[in-house]
Structure 1
Amino acid sequence: MASGGDDLVKYITEKVVVYMEDPRASRARRKAEKQPWAEKWFGMLPLGLSIWRSKWSDGGRK
């Protein structure tokens, strides 16, 4: 049975090989499609707070 360190090295090596074999244009396209974390969460945070505040200011009549 392989030790945990050997498994980790094997996993990292496989990921690096896949990354290096992937064309540069493909990596750039995939990175451009990814939505930024801050935009995702801070875009929804003000909306959630405004809904929460409107429920409190309406007295829960909705």
Structure 2
Amino acid sequence: MRWNTMSFKDWIQYLLGRIIWYMETPKEQRKEVKQSQKESWSVRWFGLIPLSIKMYVHKQRSRIRGG
């Protein structure tokens, strides 16, 4: 949904829908949804660079052990 093309009426409908969902959803379920969408701090701050370094180090370690 593009925010700059939304009319005021559409924006209010979206906002009210989010508020109603929040009020009707149990606290435990909201926590589960939040945890499932959460990404690790290293990915959030540095992108995929830490993941690529971890994969490289793992590959080198397994190569040395198997060698």
Give the Cα separation in 2 of the matches to 1:28 and 1:49: 31
Find runs of 4+ consecutive structure 1 residues off by over 2 angstroms: 32-44, 46-51
Unaligned runs of 5+ in 2: 1-5, 57-67
Tell me the number of residue pairs that the alignment of Structure 1 and Structure 2 aligns.
49
User: Aligned-pair RMSD on alpha carbons?
Assistant: 3.0
2:43 paired with 1:40: yes
Q: TM-score scaled to structure 1, two decimals? A: 0.52
Q: TM-score scaled to structure 2, two decimals? A: 0.49
Greater Rg over alpha carbons, structure:
1
Q: Which residue of 14, 17, 28 maps to 2:17?
A: 14
Report % sequence identity: 24
Corresponding residue for residue 34 of structure 2:
31
